[in-house]
């Protein structure tokens, strides 16, 4: 009795129709990262467990551990949970890397979380990170914001907005609202939910996290203040004598100016005090993309400065700025914006094999089309045209070439448009002169 084939809950097979757009988007990621001088690295899936523990708070229980030499605590292994701790480990092991070190990393991570496949939450997913390590310069933030704007533009996600805020402005807001500074992180967590739960929801969240009613109202008042990069006087007034807050506001305006200078159109940028970012480790400017065309999608990209994390294995602070791109969300957004059957094959044309007289010619024609850069399938089994057309239809191959012996002898080839269901004869020389256009 064969074993029942099945998948572990929360994981998935990615079939051709999933993978083809995925590879296209990842190629765009790599192109954009390299255009800005970010270099790829990869780290092993397996890390020593002790490298990963003590870094993720309560989420530590979501780390997958390996059942291999786990009788010796120092040799216990686990699967990587994110790409940030491995980056810190890599930086510590490779002091020869010149700083600032600009790296990107596109690798899966594993989390024993409750899966929600319909919301795109899986136990294995591709994490797409880029980070600049080793500089306190705001240019690092500016560059990453510009890169992400550039990339989202190239992906044709129209109208995205990159919201900019600063963690130390949020801290100033917590002070201004009269909230206990020890609750700063809790306030960030509550404010971060604004898009999902609305203003009333944030008030409830704040209450649940121990913020008094009046102070919670003032927090909402703080985040509701619009900020104009050109004239931030309203916010400056609220900040009054808070030197740290005023410095943070200056940094935020400088980041905005840098992004403009690097070519980001102003309509894609917005200073926004409601932006909090969920993670507690940010220490400076933070940013996050919203996509008004799909308001329930969540952020397609987000990040910020986190100066306290990368040096963890060296026992000293190493400044860093990073961003993470939501590959699955970006793919979902693209599919929703441009619906229609996703192609399940890279093949542009099927060279059919229905006639023994033109068998050899069919093989050579397939080779020539591939030589011209056209993804081409040669029917693997000779047989009736009907069967070969059915295969092309089932796979979504848009064009089929038919090499009838008489047409072929006259220098012609039959070109069938599978979407239109029509077939025309065409001189072979014409096809080979510009196959990219004809088989578009």
Question: Which range of residues in 103-111, 200-208, 280-288, 324-332 is near its own copies by CB under 8 A?
Answer: 103-111
Structure tokens at 244: 């740290």
Binding its own copies (rule: CB under 8 A), the pick from 59, 66, 158, 221 is 66
Question: Which range of residues in 13-21, 167-175, 281-289, 408-416 is near its own copies by CB under 8 A?
Answer: 13-21
**Measured from the CB of residue 194, what is the shortest distance to its own copies in angstroms?**
32
Residues 319-378, interacting with its own copies (CB under 8 A): 344-347, 360, 363-364, 366-368, 370-371, 373-378
Q: Name the residue nearer to its own copies (CB basis): 37 or 411.
A: 37
**Measured from the CB of residue 367, what is the shortest distance to its own copies in angstroms?**
4
When asked if residue 381 is in the footprint of its own copies (CB under 8 A), the reply is yes
Q: Name the residue nearer to its own copies (CB basis): 55 or 204.
A: 55
Question: Which range of residues in 7-15, 113-121, 177-185, 286-294 is near its own copies by CB under 8 A?
Answer: 7-15
Helix (H) or strand (E) holding 215: helix 213-224
Q: Which residues pair with 76 in a beta bridge?
A: none
Q: Name the residue nearer to its own copies (CB basis): 333 or 378.
A: 378
In this structure, are residues 368 and 430 in contact, taking their beta carbons and an 8 Å threshold? no
When asked if residue 65 is in the footprint of its own copies (CB under 8 A), the reply is yes
Q: Between β-strands 422-427 and 412-417, what pairing exists: parallel, antiparallel or unpaired?
A: antiparallel
Residues 117-146, interacting with its own copies (CB under 8 A): 123-124, 132, 135, 137, 139-140, 143, 146
Q: Name the residue nearer to its own copies (CB basis): 77 or 286.
A: 77
CA–CA distance, 377 with 400 (Å, rounded to integer): 9
The values of phi and psi at residue 231, to 5°, are -135, 85
Burial, 406: exposed, middle or buried (Cβ in 10 Å; 0-12, 13-18, 19+)? exposed
Structure tokens at 309: 């994390």
Hey, CA dihedral for 293, 295, 298, 302, is it positive or negative? positive
CA–CA distance, 333 with 143 (Å, rounded to integer): 24
**Measured from the CB of residue 13, what is the shortest distance to its own copies in angstroms?**
5
**Measured from the CB of residue 390, what is the shortest distance to its own copies in angstroms?**
9
In this structure, are residues 402 and 354 in contact, taking their beta carbons and an 8 Å threshold? yes
CA distances from 248 to 138, 140, 164, 305, 320 (A): 11, 16, 12, 12, 17
When asked if residue 380 is in the footprint of its own copies (CB under 8 A), the reply is yes
User: Binding pattern to its own copies, positions 276-295, x when CB under 8 A?
Assistant: --------------------
Structure tokens at 14: 């990615």
Q: Report which DSSP code applies to 160.
A: -
Residues 19-38, interacting with its own copies (CB under 8 A): 19-20, 22-23, 27, 30, 34-38
Question: Which range of residues in 179-187, 192-200, 286-294, 389-397 is near its own copies by CB under 8 A?
Answer: 389-397
Q: Name the residue nearer to its own copies (CB basis): 169 or 321.
A: 321
When asked if residue 182 is in the footprint of its own copies (CB under 8 A), the reply is no
Q: Report which DSSP code applies to 340.
A: S
**Measured from the CB of residue 21, what is the shortest distance to its own copies in angstroms?**
11
Q: Name the residue nearer to its own copies (CB basis): 325 or 374.
A: 374
- A 10 A CB-CB count for 147 gives 22
How would you label 222-259 residue by residue, b for 16+ Cβ within 10 Å and e otherwise?
Answer: bbeeebebeebeebeebbeebeebbebbebbbbbbebb
**Measured from the CB of residue 379, what is the shortest distance to its own copies in angstroms?**
8
When asked if residue 395 is in the footprint of its own copies (CB under 8 A), the reply is yes
Picking from 30, 29, 19, 20, the residue whose alpha carbon sits closest to that of residue 375 is 20
When asked if residue 258 is in the footprint of its own copies (CB under 8 A), the reply is yes
Picking from 404, 412, 353, the residue whose alpha carbon sits closest to that of residue 364 is 353
**Measured from the CB of residue 324, what is the shortest distance to its own copies in angstroms?**
19
Question: Which range of residues in 59-67, 163-171, 188-196, 423-431 is near its own copies by CB under 8 A?
Answer: 59-67
Give the total of residues touching its own copies (CB under 8 A).
101
Picking from 292, 311, 308, the residue whose alpha carbon sits closest to that of residue 300 is 292
């Amino acid at each position: 009795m064969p074993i029942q084939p099945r998948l572990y809950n929360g994981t998935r097979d990615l079939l051709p129709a999933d993978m083809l757009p995925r590879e296209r988007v990842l190629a765009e990621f790599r192109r954009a990262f390299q255009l800005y001088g970010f270099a790829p690295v990869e780290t092993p899936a397996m890390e020593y467990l002790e490298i990963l523990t003590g870094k993720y708070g309560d989420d530590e229980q979501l780390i997958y551990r390996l059942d291999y030499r786990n009788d010796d605590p120092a040799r216990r292994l686990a699967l990587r949970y994110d790409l940030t701790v491995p980056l810190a480990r890599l930086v510590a092991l490779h002091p020869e890397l010149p700083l600032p070190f600009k790296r990107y990393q596109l690798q899966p991570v594993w989390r024993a979380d409750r899966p929600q496949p319909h919301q795109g939450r899986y136990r294995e997913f591709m994490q797409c990170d880029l980070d600049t390590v080793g500089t306190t310069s705001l240019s690092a933030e500016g560059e990453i914001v510009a890169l992400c704007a550039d990339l989202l533009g190239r992906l044709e996600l129209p109208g995205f907005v990159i919201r900019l805020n600063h963690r130390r402005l949020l801290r100033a807001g917590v002070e201004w609202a009269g909230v206990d500074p020890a609750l700063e992180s809790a306030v960030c967590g509550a404010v971060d939910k604004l898009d999902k739960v609305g203003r009333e929801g944030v008030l409830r969240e704040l209450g649940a996290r121990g913020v008094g009613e009046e102070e919670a109202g003032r927090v909402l008042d703080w985040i509701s203040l619009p900020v104009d990069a050109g004239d931030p006087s309203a916010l400056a007034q609220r900040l009054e004598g808070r030197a740290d807050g005023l410095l943070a506001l200056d940094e935020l305006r400088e980041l905005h100016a840098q992004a403009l200078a690097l070519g980001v159109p102003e309509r894609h940028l917005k200073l926004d005090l409601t932006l909090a970012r969920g993670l507690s480790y940010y220490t400076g400017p933070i940013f996050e993309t919203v996509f008004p065309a799909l308001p329930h999608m969540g952020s397609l990209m987000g990040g910020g400065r986190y100066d306290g994390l990368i040096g963890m294995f060296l026992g000293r602070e190493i400044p860093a700025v990073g961003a993470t791109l939501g590959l699955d969300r970006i793919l979902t957004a693209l599919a929703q914006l441009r619906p229609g059957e996703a192609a399940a094959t890279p093949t542009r044309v099927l060279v059919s094999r229905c006639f023994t007289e033109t068998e050899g010619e069919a093989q050579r024609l397939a080779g020539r089309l591939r030589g011209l850069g056209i993804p081409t399938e040669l029917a693997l089994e000779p047989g009736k045209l009907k069967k070969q057309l059915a295969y092309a239809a089932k796979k979504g191959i848009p064009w089929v070439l038919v090499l009838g012996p008489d047409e072929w002898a006259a220098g012609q080839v039959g070109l069938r448009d599978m979407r239109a269901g029509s077939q025309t004869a065409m001189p072979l020389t014409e096809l080979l002169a510009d196959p990219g256009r004809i088989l578009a």
